[in-house]
């Protein structure tokens, strides 16, 4: 609930303080969750959602390896200081100059699978939203190679969701675009 979608710090706060409190949150963009004193932070205050989330019962993970090992009912993960690197950069090129220190980022299907495993523990059901937001961002500057590879990553993720639906017929899988 904000007038500007660029008000990321306030949006980050609402995940924990808002009316709807998600049980699973897996993102890039840790710069909006770490205190202003941390290198790369975009916050204007001392809020540290990494520490505070754990006080609220979340298991925090920051790389693919730890994500895949997590076994919890509340999961919070941040995997890059800003946006995720492109799937082609993570899976094919693996260039440290592009990835920086974020060499163990999960794939979209990893996060979806772990979200399903975590949320499946809720006997009341759940809503899961998965976004492949970088496809749009790569297409704006006409970086079609990265855009197409991220479509392939999304395709694998949708296949995972459809496979889950086969054994859970009360599941609705909806895929849409924002343009």
Provide the pLDDT for residue 168.
96
Tell me what the mean pLDDT of segment 115-133 comes to.
Answer: 96
Q: How far apart are the first and last CA of the chain?
A: 21
Provide the pLDDT for residue 178.
79
Provide the pLDDT for residue 87.
97
C-alpha distance from residue 158 to each of 11, 37, 165 (Å) = 27, 39, 10
Nearest CA to 54 among 37, 77, 29, 82?
Answer: 77
Mean of pLDDT over the chain? 96
Q: Sheet containing 59-61: give its strands across.
A: 24-27, 75-78, 59-61
Predicted confidence (pLDDT) at residue 179 exceeds the cutoff of 80: no
Q: What is the pLDDT of residues 152-163, one digit of tens each?
A: 999 999 999 999
Provide the pLDDT for residue 1.
85
Enumerate the β-bridge partners of residue 24.
75
Provide the pLDDT for residue 40.
96
Q: What is the pLDDT of residues 20-32, one digit of tens each?
A: 999 999 999 899 9
Q: What is the pLDDT of residues 88-114, one digit of tens each?
A: 999 999 999 999 999 999 999 999 999
pTM for the full predicted model: 0.95
Provide the pLDDT for residue 73.
97
C-alpha dihedral sign at 134, 138, 139, 141: positive
Radius of gyration of the chain (CA): 16
Helix axes 108-119, 144-167, angle to 10 degrees: 30
Q: What is the pLDDT of residues 162-173, one digit of tens each?
A: 999 999 999 999
């Amino acid at each position: 609930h904000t007038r500007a979608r660029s008000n990321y710090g306030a949006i980050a706060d609402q995940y924990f303080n808002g009316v709807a409190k998600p049980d699973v949150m897996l993102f890039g963009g840790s710069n909006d969750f770490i205190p202003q004193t941390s290198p790369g932070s975009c916050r204007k205050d001392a809020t540290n959602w990494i520490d505070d989330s754990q006080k609220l019962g979340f298991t925090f993970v920051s790389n693919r390896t730890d994500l895949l090992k997590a076994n919890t009912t509340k999961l919070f993960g941040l995997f890059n200081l800003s946006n995720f690197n492109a799937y082609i950069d993570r899976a094919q090129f693996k260039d440290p100059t592009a990835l920086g220190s974020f060499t163990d980022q999960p794939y979209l299907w990893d996060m979806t699978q772990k979200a399903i495993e975590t949320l499946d523990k809720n006997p009341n059901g759940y809503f899961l939203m998965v976004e492949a937001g970088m496809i749009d961002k790569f297409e704006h500057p006409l970086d079609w190679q990265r855009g197409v590879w991220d479509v392939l990553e999304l395709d694998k993720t949708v296949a995972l969701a459809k496979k889950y639906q086969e054994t859970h017929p009360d599941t609705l899988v909806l895929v849409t675009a924002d343009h």
